[in-house]
Structure 1
Amino acid sequence: MHAIRQHALGDPDVLVLDQLPDLDPGPGEVRIAVEACGVHLLDTTLRRGETGGPMPQQPLPTIPGREVAGVVDRVGSGVEESWLGRRVVAHLGLVPGGYAEQAVTAVGTLFPVPDHVSFPAAVAAVGTGRTALGVVELEPPRPDDVVLVPSAAGGLGWLLVQSAHAVGASVVAAARGPERTAALAPLQARLVVDYADPDWAERVRAEVGAVTVVYDGVGGEVGRAALELLAPGGRQVMFGYSAGTPTRFDSGDVVERALSVGWSLGPRMAALPGGVPGLAGRALDRVAAGDWEPLVSTYPLADAGRAHADLEGRRALGKVVLTVER
């Protein structure tokens, strides 16, 4: 099989296409002929050798990636042969191996993928989709809310905008740069703003007024400006900081303005019904039902380095997915 391996820490060019022996599933496992594999921002930090986050550094060389979709083509002992030929998606957990033509995982991690759902969309569901669903289940948008999504052109933000629209909330969608803001047109938000514009927050205040919910995956100065747009009693839900630093807030923000500010990741999300796997399954159900339409940017497996560079440079739109040609 072919796989992308990382032989050293560093820039995206450390990701190289290697030929490796085919995989064999062990007891209770299946082998997936991979059609699509997800690329996560965490993959880029691990590639650079930065610590932090839930995933540990792996010994080099390593095959990055943990979200895979494809067809089961081999089963290990103890696994029903009825799994053979089925379209599936899985999250590999703490051990990577997704950037490859084959992946092995326990049968209990599999989610069947309906025929009408593409493999890239299935990957988006079990990756960014499960996090987006956790965010909205922990802090649901209401019909009377004005919701600001600063990362609306990302895979997570795109789904959060759709979730807010679905309940009748008013949505302000924000992204960085004219190309990304132009891509937001299908979302039909009440207002679209470019947060690279130094006056973006003033424009929101002038055209919309205060907002009541911020789904904050950007952090930094953008997250802080969004926080200051919140009406008294508003809620700011943080799930990442693509700007490099978390949103700054203190007790005065919370007490004096009666704001609710907090993180949605970690134990809070794991405590939801079914835990993180339950979120992945429900997110896939939303995609299958047509309630969510993920935004996906696809790259051939061999172009994993370019996919990383585009993700880090905020040039990619939506969920970044590597595809395997067969």
Structure 2
Amino acid sequence: MVLHSFGPAENLVHESVPDPEPGPGQVRIAVKAAGVHLIETALRAGLSSGYMPPLPELPTIFGGEVAGRVDATGPGVDPGWIGLDVVTSGGQPGGYAELAVADVAAVHRLPDGLSHEAAVAMIVTGRTALEFLDVAALSAADVVLVTSAAGGIGRLVVQYARRLGARVIGAAGGPAKVAAVRELGADLAVDYDEPSWAEAVADRLGGRKVTAVLDGVGGDKARAAVGLLADGGRYVTIGNASKQDFAPDPRLVEERGLTVTNALLLLIGRPEQRPAYEARALAAAAEGTLVPAVQAFPLSEAAAAHAALESRRTTGKVVLVP
């Protein structure tokens, strides 16, 4: 799937290109699953900002999250890699293809029993969720409000917090997503597309307050979530799926002793920790400790996948399957 010009999802074109060849220190992967990331939809549209990667040179093939079977090795790479099932977050030129190359140093072997689709869901989304959770430093005593709780990261955060023993409120958009959050075991699942959702949460808590908001949405929904925080509570954000700017009022933060943390900025600053978190995420999925949700699209329908992700009509990790 090639992007020749920035713009709407339909600009992703399904076409044949020359097979990539692995260079020194690289392997080539016959792709079984490729992850789609929300940031890729912004880059495809030609948008960029301070925390995002620069716009790619065109034409380009997106898709850094790749799982499949090694079918060739480059110079200096042990040919024993050939035939192994692997996953990586460093596909080059990209995973939106039948073949992709990656640096062998960034490749993980798939744990036994883990599917290619689940591996792709965990290699970045799972890693990010674990990093996010480490920043949030939850405990069993917390009352946690998770926004975008039916999304790729949100689902894993809900599962983790429940296993920890915290009380979990999952907020998502629409009845189907709310039902999915309820099935994950959230103590309370609410539809934050309803105007009075925050009041409903406050009523159900019966005077108890939220101690931590883990937010990936931003905008008005984040503002309402922060309004539910107890004095001394913490707001940890990792994204802005709504594309609406939001930052808690500094005066409110000071008066109520709130802690505000932009986890995304922290995580960008420590890339050396990513391989260890990737391994942890893959192991957790293989053990069944964290179970990712996958919504698969055929590779040729990458444009539909982008459109669905942008309009927040997806549940879990969006994956392309050649």
TM norm. shorter chain > 0.5:
yes
CA distance in 2, matches of 1:141, 1:269: 21
| Matching residue of 2:88 | 90
User: Does the CA-based 8 Å contact 2:3-2:59 persist in structure 1?
Assistant: yes
Q: Match for 2:83: what amino acid?
A: G
Counterpart among 294, 304, 307 of residue 305 in structure 2: 307
How far the C-alpha of 1:270 sits from its partner, in A, is 4.2
* Per-residue deviation, residues 29-70 of structure 1 (Å, max 9, x unmatched): 100001000001111101110112332211111111110000
What letter corresponds to residue 69 of structure 1 in structure 2? A
Contact 1:201 / 1:229 at 8 angstroms: preserved in 2?
yes
Alignment partner, residue 226 of structure 2: 227
The answer as to whether partners of 2:112 and 2:286 remain within 8 angstroms in 1 is: no
Hey, what does 1:148 align to over in structure 2? Answer: 145
What is the Cα deviation at residue 269 of structure 1? Answer: 5.8
Q: What is the 5 A alignment of 1:1-326?
A: 4-52=1-49, 53-92=51-90, 96-208=93-205, 209-268=208-267, 270-271=269-270, 274-324=272-322
Secondary structure at 1:236 match in 2: strand
SS in 2 for 1:234: strand
Quote how far apart the aligned CAs of 1:266 are. Answer: 3.0
User: Per-residue deviation at 1:268?
Assistant: 4.6
CA contact (8 A) 1:125 1:280 kept: yes
CA distance in 1 between partners of 2:258 and 2:6 (Å): 41
5+ residue gaps, structure 1: none
**How many angstroms apart in 2 are the aligned matches of 1:124 and 1:102?**
19
Mapped partners of 1:38, 1:68: distance in 2: 7
Q: Contact between 2:30 and 2:69, CA under 8 Å: does it hold in 1?
A: yes
Instruction: Decide whether the 8 Å contact of 1:138 with 1:269 is kept in 2.
Output: no
CA distance in 2, matches of 1:104, 1:248: 40
Question: For the Cα contact (< 8 Å) 1:233–1:259, is it kept in 2?
Answer: yes
Q: Would the alpha carbon gap of residues 214 and 96 (structure 1) be closer, same or farther in structure 2, given more than 3 Å must change?
A: farther
| Cα distance change of structure 1 residues 103 and 183 upon mapping to structure 2, 3 Å threshold | same
- Decide whether aligned partners of structure 1 residues 240 and 212 sit closer, same or farther in structure 2, where only a CA change above 3 A counts: same
Aligned partners of 1:205, 1:270: CA distance in 2, in Å? Answer: 36
User: For residues 144 and 284 of structure 1, what CA distance do their matches in structure 2 show?
Assistant: 27
Q: Partners of 1:247 and 1:42 in 2: how far apart?
A: 18
Identity %: 47
Pick closer, same or farther for the CA change 1:113–1:229 going to 2, 3 Å: same
What amino acid maps onto 2:315 in structure 1? L
User: How far apart are residue 248 of structure 1 and its match?
Assistant: 2.4
Amino acid in structure 1 at the alignment position of 2:5: A
CA distance in 1, matches of 2:192, 2:290: 25
Q: Distance in 2 between matches of 1:55 and 1:48?
A: 13
In the alignment, structure 2 segments of 5+ residues that lack a partner are none
Per-residue deviation, 1:96: 4.7
Aligned length: 319
